[in-house]
Structure 1
Amino acid sequence: MFLSLNISAHSLSDMQLADRIMAICQTHAVATDRIILEMTETSAMTDPTTTLDLLTRLRIKGLNLSIDDFGTGYSSMIRLVQLPFSELKVDKMFVINVAQSTESQNVIRAIIGLGHSLGLRITAEGVEDQAAFQFLQDEGCDLAQGYWFAQPMNGAQAAQWQLAWPHRYARN
């Protein structure tokens, strides 16, 4: 299981961010490879030089980096290749209508193909039903999140949910 944290555009200009995150991980004995730092396309592309330095430091320390809401913001394919991301997150706007929309299906297939060709993990947001989940599985999407799995919850609820999830969502 991963812990995903949203990173603001302002945080991407903070050169102490990597050290602070590492200190928190050490204090709480959290493995860095289980942490995903999520940022939107727009925030990741704002100041490429500073962002590249910070993201490289975070990746060297073992943290996963994700472009959140991929396909809805400002994207530069050259930046996608240059920045050390480990994951693309398909925006929920493509996932919500996937069962009824050929266009959404095609966009999702393209994102999965692009991401996998770059060695990135693909996560789909906004999975709300079995049909969407099945489509994503069939197309090779690596991870999925959304209300079909669970509603938002506090820490205690998440701990209980984690105990049950392998049995509830295991692949056949």
Structure 2
Amino acid sequence: MPRAGLDRAAVIEAAAALADREGLPALTLARLAAELGVKAPSLYNHVSGLPDVERALAIAGARETNARMLRAAAGKARREALVAVGFAYRDFALERPGLYAASVRAPAPEDAEHQRIGNEAVATIVAVLSGFGLADDDALHATRGLRAVIHGFVGLEAAGAFRLALGREESFLRLLTAFAVGLEHSIDARKGS
């Protein structure tokens, strides 16, 4: 008999909490079932398997990242918007490490829903970068660069690599500012040529 109150949403929420607490690699159906106090086969009443859970986490993570970036960028432009979006992205990655790890995985080409959610997050960054005069391929290259910069910083930070008595917030702000200045310089150089 299924546990009362257990549904797909509860399973995915428990999976996210487990991944955040112990890391995405720790997420297995057996571990998730133990977390929920049920036997692993009963999870199949709600999910089709671990790939289904991981996909749901990836979508939830992309949605949450995008929502945070949208809130952060509201009413801001150019450098201020880029910095706000960068901090929102970083905060999500540090606060929800398992969900973040799931969200950075590329969606399967045939997964239209996951593709759409991922594209919405990219569109948010592209909209911020449009304030720098970037569009089309230029905006997408800059989006890749910004995501790589943030992901690299967050990865090092999460691994405990920044142990100097130097503010990580300030380091991150300077990194984002340097990225923004680089974009501004690139725009100025194109205008001058």
Bigger RCO of structures 1 and 2 (CA < 8 A, at least 6 apart): 2
TM-score normalized by the length of structure 2: 0.27
In our comparison, the structure showing a higher alpha carbon Rg is 2
Structure number with the higher strand fraction is: 1
TM-score normalized by the length of structure 1: 0.30
